[in-house]
A and B are shown apart, each in its own frame.
Chain A
Amino acid sequence: MRSQPGNRRFLLWLSLTTVLMAVVLAVMLAVFLRQARSVEETARLQTDSITALTFHFEREFLRFRAELGQSLQTRHEPDWEQLGLRYEILLSRIDLLRDSPSTARLRDKPEYLILLPRIEALVKQVDPLMADPPSHLPELAQVLETLYSIGPEVQALSSASNHLVSSLIEDQLDTVRGQSRLISWLVAFQVALLLLGATALMVRHRRLQRERRELEMLNDALREAKAQADSASQGKSRFLANMSHELRTPFNGLLGMLDMLEETQLTRQQRDHLLTARDSARHLLNLLNDILDMSALEAGKMSVQPEPVDMLRLISEVHAVMAPAGQRKQLTMRLHLPSDTPGPVLADPTRTRQILFNLMSNAVKFTDQGEVDVRVNWTQHAGTVRWALTVRDTGIGMNESMQAQLFQRFHQVDGSATRRFGGSGLGLEISRTLARLMGGEISVRSAIGEGSVFTLELPTPLAPSHAPAPSVPPLAAPPASAAATPVPAEPAPSPAPTRHAESIEWSVLVAEDHPVNRKFMGALLNKLGHAVTFAENGQQALDLVREHDFDIVFMDIHMPEMDGLTSTKLIRALPGEKCRIPIVALTADVMNDAEDRAAGAGVNEFLSKPVQKDQLQAALDRWAGRHHQQTA
């Protein structure tokens, strides 16, 4: 993390600043307290100020002196009691001057030091006289003289105390001023510190904001890049899906012609070459199908269509197809089926078959000796049958990192194996995607040299009990309601079609715009012994059906001027028996909805190109024969 040291430094600064602020505040508090004490002191000085005490002393001094003067000069009997009172009051003032805590500061002044001994000496002299004043008149006159002589010093004490208090107040003021200055500096420092802190915070905030903005921008850029990559990838998938028709059409012709060639007289070497060519073409077609499936999955154009299926029978059929390939490699091909069956379940037979083929062919492909063991188990819970199909081989096996990459796109077990085993690397990904589409999962257990165990788990709901038996052509369905007739499941490739209809010559209309395909279909049908009429588009097909009687129509979907679906719909709208003619759609589209749309338009069966000879014969047997029986 880039910002971590910066963060730590910031926190350090923050705590340092905080501590500094706290210290400054503490100092300020101390200064404030001291100032408060100073003010308190000043107040106390004023409470009973030195000046008031000296002033009262001077006043009582003067009043006693005046009273004494009057008593000595009066012709009447003097008020000696009044004089005594004045003397007592003066004495109380002298005591206060000497003893009161307030005058402590005055006591080291020269004026005080000179005056007080003289006053005290005087008091010592006067005290006995005041006990009986009338009998001591001359002495009292002497005292009056003394009182007059020390008058200026009494006054000087007043001035001195006045001066003392003002200088004390000035001192206090100086102290307070100094403290105020200190406080001002501290406050200024505090403010500066605060500003500094605020600035630092602002700078930091700005930097964080900038970093966040940059991150957001980066995020946006990444998101945009991802969206672009996704859309580019999707575009490619869409392109490939759309290309499927274009790619399969020439293949149709190529494979058909190779099949035809095989039927002719060939030298051994030519036959060898031909077989190699056909194997290569088949291999290429497999790769192509993988790629096209992947594209369809990617483009979201593939969906699963469950129908009642006898799962055990389906598995047996796939195993029967794969067994010869294994036996050619001297492998033991075992199949363990459970003794009982849950009955028909709802599953997509085509996709299930595709997964099974993939797992079993992989097992055969990567095993050079030993066995391929297929084991099936099922459990039932609340109307759902959970299938566990295990394919165990004694092949090369995989280590953990290989297993981890196994289901990744374009993955091939290892570079060298690619050369040896071939394959698109898409098979397992397609299988797992399909399994997940159906709510299942494929898992693997393996170790180098100890073979691999692939397990397909698949939950399938039980089919309603009245559903028709699966994998059996719906013979009972009337062909007239062709639009509503379900397209039957692809028949198992192993059993050979019945040959009883081969001798019957059907009148067949083939609507096909591509000349190679027309030639291939023509050759195939001729070879089977049927009369073929061609139409190059939907309109021609419609016209021909209207004018002639055909036993069956093979209708290409993609054609110029009028496509096969429109043509089918119009044929179904013809009056009389014409509308019941069997129509078999042929297309190279792999998209699911192609089949749906064809059924919706009213075709009886849907064959995907390239068409094999067996498929063609089966369709003829199924539809033309029945049509013939009904119209006859």
Chain B
Amino acid sequence: MILTSRRQAFIAITAGLFSWAGIQTPAQALDAPQGRVILTITGKIGETNAERQAQFDLAMLEALPQHSFVTQTPWENGSIKFTGPLLRDVLAAVKAQGTQLKATALNDYRIVIPVDDDRRFDIVLAHRMNDQLIPVRTRGPLFIIYPFDSRKELRSNTYYERSIWQLKSLDID
């Protein structure tokens, strides 16, 4: 727990540095969403902008530092470029303090992601595939994606299962 706190403190500082450097970041206190809410975070979080939950619209996610990588997936033929904030930046933004994430999709698919994954891999909360916003029809609007091509150990069922699409909410536990 102490370690986790430290890491989060580090992330917070990093985020702070980014903001100080003038990179586009949200204000420290979580703003209320302006557009349609596409992600709801509940559970052990330190920042909220609604009743015991943090709500995000696309603009809020786009305001976080963006990250891209190209990888293959079992669901598509060929490689795809995924773009979005790192999961850990999103969690830092809400001051999450749990050990696992219960991720739920629009179709009620639920999977548990250990927070540890977030430390070991650069997991992206993608809102763009090949630079295009992702409609629900092509498994949008949010897609948790692991950099499968960067590590061999990632190309296993465990991580394919955790790559949840049509993400709706995260519950920090």
Contacts and interface: CB of A to CB of B under 8 A. Distances in A.
A102 B74 contact: yes
A102 B137 CA distance: 18
Given A56-B107, A60-B107, A88 B74 contact: no
Given A92-B136, A92-B139, A43 B157 contact: yes
A592 B69 CA distance: 114
A96 B73 CA distance: 13
Contacts of A46: 157
A46 B166 CA distance: 21
A92 B141 CA distance: 12
Contacts of B76: 99-101
B77 interface: yes
A603 to B, nearest CB: 112
A122 to B, nearest CB: 15
A59 interface: yes
A91 B75 CA distance: 15
Interface in A73-119: 85, 88-89, 91-92, 95-96, 99-102
A100 B157 CA distance: 16
Nearest to B157: A47
A92 B137 contact: yes
A63 B107 CA distance: 9
A48 interface: yes
Given A46-B157, A47-B157, A47-B160, A100 B107 contact: no
Interface in A9-44: 43-44
Given A43-B157, A101-B74, A59 B137 contact: no
Contacts of B46: none
A551 B77 CA distance: 143
B135 interface: yes
Nearest to B74: A48
B138 A92 contact: yes
A43 B106 CA distance: 27
Contacts of A47: 74, 157, 160
A100 B137 contact: no
Contacts of A48: 74-75, 160
Nearest to B109: A56
Given A89-B166, A101-B77, A59 B107 contact: yes
Nearest to A96: B75
Interface in A404-442: none
B169 to A, nearest CB: 14
A96 B138 CA distance: 9
A92 B76 CA distance: 13
Given A56-B107, A89-B106, A89-B107, A100 B75 contact: yes
A289 to B, nearest CB: 104
Contacts of A59: 107
Contacts of A56: 107
Contacts of A43: 157
B106 A85 contact: yes
Contacts of B157: 43, 46-47
A348 B75 CA distance: 116
B137 A91 contact: yes
Contacts of B74: 44, 47-48, 101-102
- Scoring B76, B77, B106, B107 by chain A CB atoms within 10 A of each residue's CB, the highest score goes to B107
A83 to B, nearest CB: 12
Nearest to A63: B107
Contact of A88 (B75, B77, B136, B160): B136
Contacts of B75: 48, 96, 100-102
Nearest to A48: B74
Contacts of A60: 107
A47 B74 CA distance: 9
A89 B75 CA distance: 16
Contacts of A91: 136-137
Contacts of A102: 74-75
Contact of A95 (B106, B137, B166): B137
A157 to B, nearest CB: 18
Contact of A92 (B77, B160, B166): B166
A47 B148 CA distance: 14
Contacts of B135: 88
- Scoring A92, A100, A102 by chain B CB atoms within 10 A of each residue's CB, the highest score goes to A92
Contacts of A100: 75-76
B72 to A, nearest CB: 11
A95 B138 CA distance: 8
A298 to B, nearest CB: 91
Nearest to A91: B137
A44 B160 CA distance: 11
Contacts of B138: 92, 95
Interface in B61-97: 74-77
Contacts of A88: 135-137
A96 B137 CA distance: 10
Nearest to B107: A89
Contacts of B166: 89, 92
Contacts of B107: 56, 59-60, 63, 89
Nearest to B160: A47
A99 B76 CA distance: 8
A89 B77 contact: no
Contacts of A89: 106-107, 136, 166
B165 to A, nearest CB: 8
A268 to B, nearest CB: 132
Contacts of B137: 88, 91-92, 95
Nearest to A60: B107
Nearest to A101: B77
A60 B138 CA distance: 14
Interface in A527-574: none
Contacts of A99: 76-77
- Scoring A44, A59, A89, A95 by chain B CB atoms within 10 A of each residue's CB, the highest score goes to A89
A89 B139 CA distance: 8
B166 to A, nearest CB: 7
A145 B77 CA distance: 35
Contacts of B160: 47-48
A99 B136 CA distance: 16
Nearest to B137: A91
- Scoring A43, A44, A47, A56 by chain B CB atoms within 10 A of each residue's CB, the highest score goes to A47
A99 B138 CA distance: 11
A88 B74 CA distance: 21
A169 to B, nearest CB: 16
A63 to B, nearest CB: 8
Interface in A97-148: 99-102
The 6 closest A-B pairs by CB, nearest first: A88-B136, A91-B137, A92-B137, A47-B157, A88-B137, A48-B74
12 contacts: A43-B157, A48-B74, A48-B75, A48-B160, A56-B107, A60-B107, A85-B136, A89-B107, A89-B136, A92-B136, A95-B138, A100-B75
Given A47-B74, A92-B136, A102-B75, 8 more contacts: A43-B157, A59-B107, A85-B106, A85-B136, A92-B166, A100-B75, A101-B74, A102-B74
